[in-house]
Each structure stands twice: as C-alpha cells, then as structure tokens.
Structure 1
Amino acid sequence: MSDDPSTEPVTADRPDSPIHVTGTDHITLIGSNEEETIEFYRDVLGMPLVLRQPNLDDPDSTHLFFDTGDGRIITFFVRDDRQSNPQPHRHRAGSVHHLSFSIDPERFGEVKQALNDVGRGYNEFDRGIFHSLYTQDHNGMVIELSTDKYDIPNDRRGEVLATAQRLRVEDGSDFAEEEHLAAALDELGIDSDPVELPDAPTGSGVE
C-alpha cells in the first residue's frame, strides 16, 4: 500500500493476498419484524423466502433467508416485538449505505409502475454505466434497483469494469460513462447490444 491510496492500481487481477474469497454467500441485516420484512422483500421485490429458522446466536429472534434472484442470499434477524422505523439512516464509518439489486432492463418501466402502485417513492438516475431507481424499505434502508446498459457476463464483470476504469482515466472523464463501457466490451471481445433506457440525470452534480 502506497502513502497515496489514489495511486493504487485498479485491476481485475487477483491480488497477492493470503485469502481469495470465491463470491458473496449471503449478507445479513438486523431487520424489524417478520411480517413487514416479508411484505417488502418478498411481496414487493419478489424475493422468495427460502428458509426460516431461529437465529442460532439468539433463539429469541428469527432468521429469514431470501433468494435475491441468482442464488445469492440476503438474510434478516427479526423479532415480532421490533417495530419498523422508516426514518432515513444516519451513516457513519462501518454502516451500510445502501443495497443494490439487479432488475431486468426490459421490465424497467413495469418496476417503476409497481413502486408507484405500492406507494413507494423513488428517484431515477443514469449512473453512466448503469441505470438505477432508488427507494427505501420499511426500515429506511436505501434500496437501489439497478440495470446494466449492456448484458455483461457475471464471470467477466470485474474485468469489464476495470477496463472501463482505465479508459475513463485515459479519457480524463470524471466518472465512467456508457461510451467507456461500450469500448471496454469491444476491447475485451464481448459481444453485447446496448439496452434502451429512458434519459435521466446522473444525480451526481457532474453533468
């Protein structure tokens, strides 16, 4: 590690480290109660509830497991006497800023309508290399519903993003944009057609 972290290389190559993880198994959050957790994550976002059991570290609470759509799991520790709190979170070092889940680009308009139908407000942003809706769950957690602008193979995602990063720096751009993503895919020989999505602001103040 150099004295200036901004000079550290951005690369998809595996670092020379003693441990190499193989993927995300699950992420566990402290939830409120079972009813409202299931209502949002299963009934609104469409995640199957695949396992329910006592929290093995605290049998007075319940451990809920949801499949996010690709076999990756998100879980919650919940208690029936714990009320939901929709107030926005106060962030500090170590806290979770938001959770991002993938959605089908062909259903982007349907997702927006569904959020409207259940009374969930959202913001829509064009983030350069992906397009996102931001809403909140029943406990004030920011939930991002994101769709890629191109179909990127999961096993090459890091490689594509690292290449787009190099092209962004060479171009002198403030952030990675669609053109960098398209150029990265072309350079890596990945055939992928762009997805048609509506215009939206970046939301970053860098237009």
Structure 2
Amino acid sequence: MADESIPVSAEAPDSPFRTTGTDHITIWGSNAEDTIAFYRDLLGMPLVLRQPNLDDPSQTHLFFDTGDGRILTVFVSDDRASNRGRVPTQTGSVHHLSFSIAAEDFEDVMEALEDAGHGYNVFDRGIFFSLYTQDNNGLIVELSADKYDIPDERRGEVLATAQRIREEDGADFAEDRHMKQALEELGLDAEPADLPDASTGVGY
C-alpha cells in the first residue's frame, strides 16, 4: 500500500516548474495497416500526421488525434507482425492506455468491439465506468465514460475533493456517492449519466 501520509490535493505543488498538460504519448506498434485499423478505423481517431521516425528513419511515426487534440503516436514498421498476446508488465512499462468515450455511446462501443472481434470486460469503477479491451498488439486499452459531466478544467479539483470525502468516510475506494457529494460541494451538476449495469470487479 502506498504511503497515505503523502497529501492528495489539486493545488499546485511546490515544484521548480509545472507541466501544462499532456502533449502526446508514444508507444511501440507493429505495422501501419493493423495499427490504423484499430486506432483510426475502430476507435475513430483521425490519423493526422505520418512521417519517418526522426530517430530511426527506417520506421514510420503515426500520429492520431485521440478526440480532444491530445495526440497518441505509434512507431510502426511493415516488417513487424501484430501480436495480441498480453504485453509483459514490469517496472517502467505501460500498463494500459485510457481514452474517454461519451456515456451515451457506451453500448454502441461494445457492439462495435464485438463486431471487430475484440473481446472486452466492463466494470463500474465507482467514480467512472470502464470498458477494457486490447489493441492489435495486446496492449490494454481502457475506454472510460464519466458518470457525471465534469468540466476538464475542474477534474483534478473534483477528484481531490472526492478523495477527501472518501477518507472521511473511511472507505477503501472512491465510490459513486463520494463523487456525487464532491460535485455538490463544488456547486457542479450531479446528474448521473445513463450507463448499463456492470460488475464492480477488479482486473482485466
């Protein structure tokens, strides 16, 4: 268990500088065809830039818009086959990528994954709803729908408030009631989205 004496807060820490957001995340991919088929043709991310990998021109660097202008990039090479076996997990490796989807699209997303031959699991994570699948190389991809409409610029504040309420409640995990109370405390709309029933289980 992590050291719970370390404070959780949405306030800016006393650090020498502060990042301004996520610019892009880059992963190793297989070939362009399979990568584009998953991220563009299935998940709906426009392919916005394609060029040689600046550090290794024998590879291609694909840039996908994940939906809000934040970019996912993938190094690919046509001599690499896709492998949908599970990606090894070790210190420093990526466990999964998570992308937002609209709550009203949740069931359509499940149907599309089934039609494309991608298995998935769905979990009620307490403060959000998650669908887990795998990309063409076995990397876990989470498609997450918020239970409540949270403004992007206040997301950290809402989560930190829910954390404080969870601790005061003595609960092990942040739950729906903690999120709802946090939103109400901050004067934000706490009307829940219409999402399907799902297990509160763990894992993928």
Which one of the candidate residues 105, 127, 140 is aligned to 1:107?
A: 105
Deviations 1:86-121 (A, max 9, x none): 110110110000000000101111111111111111
Which range moves more in the overlay, 196-205 or 49-58?
196-205
Counterpart in the other structure of 2:126: 128
Alignment of 1:163-178 (within 5 A): 163-178=161-176
Which range moves more in the overlay, 57-66 or 196-205?
196-205
Unaligned regions of 5+ residues in structure 2, if any? none
Deviation at 1:196, TM superposition (A): 1.4
Counterpart in the other structure of 1:70: 68
Structure 1 CA distance, aligned partners of 2:20 and 2:178?
27
Structure 2 CA distance, aligned partners of 1:203 and 1:99?
19
For the aligned residue pairs, the C-alpha RMSD in angstroms reads 1.1
Which secondary structure state, in structure 1, belongs to the residue aligned with residue 4 of structure 2? helix
Alignment of 1:1-80 (within 5 A): 5-80=3-78
Deviations 1:17-58 (A, max 9, x none): 002000000000111101100000000000000000010110
Q: Number of paired residues? A: 202
Deviation at 1:195, TM superposition (A): 0.5
Structure 1 CA distance, aligned partners of 2:38 and 2:196?
26
Structure 2 CA distance, aligned partners of 1:178 and 1:68?
26
Counterpart in the other structure of 2:93: 95
Which range moves more in the overlay, 6-15 or 187-196?
187-196
**Pair 1:119 & 2:96 matched:** no
TM-score (norm 2): 0.97
Counterpart in the other structure of 2:182: 184
Letter in 1 for 2:48: V
Contact 1:33 1:80 in 2 (8 A): yes
Structure 1 CA distance, aligned partners of 2:196 and 2:81?
37
Structure 2 CA distance, aligned partners of 1:204 and 1:109?
20
TM-score (norm 1): 0.95
Structure 2 CA distance, aligned partners of 1:100 and 1:40?
14
Letter in 2 for 1:138: N
Structure 2 CA distance, aligned partners of 1:198 and 1:174?
24
Deviation at 1:198, TM superposition (A): 1.5
Letter in 2 for 1:16: D
Which range moves more in the overlay, 187-196 or 53-62?
187-196
Contact 1:152 1:192 in 2 (8 A): no
